[in-house]
Structure 1
Amino acid sequence: MRALPKAFASLVLLTALAACATASVSYSDVAPGSTPVSAESSKLNFLGLTPTSMERLAELRDELAEQCGDRGVTGVVARTSTMYAVVGYIEKVELRGYCAES
């Protein structure tokens, strides 16, 4: 009889571990400039019903440009990581770059 609760607990643990995963994608642009800048956003997507909007990505791009003023941004690296769970997934987008030298 004691083996049944242990087996059930093992099954629950195995299911929980199998239900979570992480994926990451990176993209790099041109050569770095002088001052590093970054912007990031994280969002829970419940049941995977709402994909990442282009407006959210544009806001991150604008946030980088704002940090550099009128010099522009160069050396941009975009990284997306996704952590899957039973109820959906958490999507994190990170942008890093450098202010262009004037």
Structure 2
Amino acid sequence: MEERMEWVEIIEPQSREHMYANLATGKCVWEPPPGVRIKKTDDNQWWELFDPNTSRFYYYNATSQKTVWHRPQNCDIIPLAKLQTLKQNTEVRDGNAEKENSKKR
């Protein structure tokens, strides 16, 4: 049985820099966290993301920068939809806090 790793190495799409994401918590960091096993990225890694406009999952390969709607076969799928949701919820919460703070001024 394959050991599940919480930390994965991914390529940040804009900067093309390697970063590290925790699939359980949604935390993303630029430096590899010490003392944990990390699943390394490769050319065969696809991210599973969610499109709220179509309510469908889609798949993105950071190496080739290709996006497809159908789940790729014979590859490594990294479920980043949870990270995507956590990030969106944090942005909404932070945005609401900023609005509240500006009203108090």
| Pairwise TM-score range, normalised by the shorter structure | under 0.3
Structure with greater contact order relative to length (CA < 8 Å, sep ≥ 6): 1
Q: Which protein is richer in strand relative to its size?
A: 1
TM-score, normalisation: structure 1: 0.23
TM-score of the two chains, using structure 2 as the length reference: 0.23
